[in-house]
Amino acid sequence: MKTNLEQINKDLRRKSPLEIILWAVSVSDHPVVTTNFRPYEAAILHAVAKVKRDIKVIWCDTGYNTPQTYNHAESVINQLELNVHLYVPKQTTAHRDIVLGIPHVDDPNHKIFTEQVKLEPFKRAMSEHQPDLWFTNLRKGQTTFRDSIDIVSQGADGILKVSPFYYWTDEELDKYHIDNNLPNEFKYFDPTKQLENRECGLHA
């Protein structure tokens, strides 16, 4: 399907997120959606679960989320009755705080930190579930890398990555949340990014 990505994206460009998700589910045998319950995540979870009720929702919890994010996650999980599969680092946050802390992005140890709290749990999740399609809420304008992809992209691992809200603005997502009575939460912290426009490592 890699050679058809340009045409696929052209065909999907004017489709609604729901139509994009319907197409994606039709070409997939084992789709998953990942989430970290950051702002606007309820939209992708609501939209995907509306099409595929039992879809596996992979949550890789770094252990450094804000209290507000954890409360928000519980609210969204319960409201949407999500089929959540939780993955956490193999080392506890308390232990890591003593031996490593949260290294600055310029510190060589930051790579080790990112591997521990985000990349390893994610790789473990993907290895266990073996998806052929991965729903995400990436959007144009978030990072330089994300500007370079499209609604549908494909990594070296061959997994199709589908971002149904790719061309949506914050204002459009605000309206989606209001229209569908979805909660949102902006007190969010990603220790591997620290800067909003920095790529987290899962997608690039």
Position 3 confidence tier, pLDDT thresholds 50, 70, 90 = low
pLDDT value, residue 193: 77
List 17's β-bridge partners, or say none: none
Residue 52, pLDDT above cutoff 80: yes
The pLDDT mean for the chain works out to 90
pLDDT value, residue 46: 98
Query: How many angstroms separate the CA atoms of 82 and 127, rounded?
Result: 21
Q: Are 82 and 45 in contact (CB under 8 A)?
A: yes
Across 111-115, 122-126, 200-204, least confident range? 200-204
Angle, in degrees to the nearest 10, between helices 41-51 and 170-179 = 60
Position 156 confidence tier, pLDDT thresholds 50, 70, 90 = confident
Q: What angle do CA 88, 122, 130 make, to 5 degrees?
A: 120
pLDDT value, residue 201: 54
Position 140 confidence tier, pLDDT thresholds 50, 70, 90 = confident
- Across the range 145-149, mean pLDDT stands at 70
**Structural domains for the chain:** 2-179 (3.40.50.620)
Q: Which amino acid is at 81?
A: E
pLDDT value, residue 197: 47
Q: What are the C-alpha distances in Å from 43 to residues 68, 83, 136?
A: 18, 16, 11
Position 82 confidence tier, pLDDT thresholds 50, 70, 90 = very high
Q: Which of 187, 139, 185, 147 is nearest to 165 (CA)?
A: 139
**Between 140 and 121, the higher pLDDT residue:** 121
Query: How many angstroms separate the CA atoms of 40 and 42, rounded?
Result: 5
Residue 6, pLDDT above cutoff 70: yes
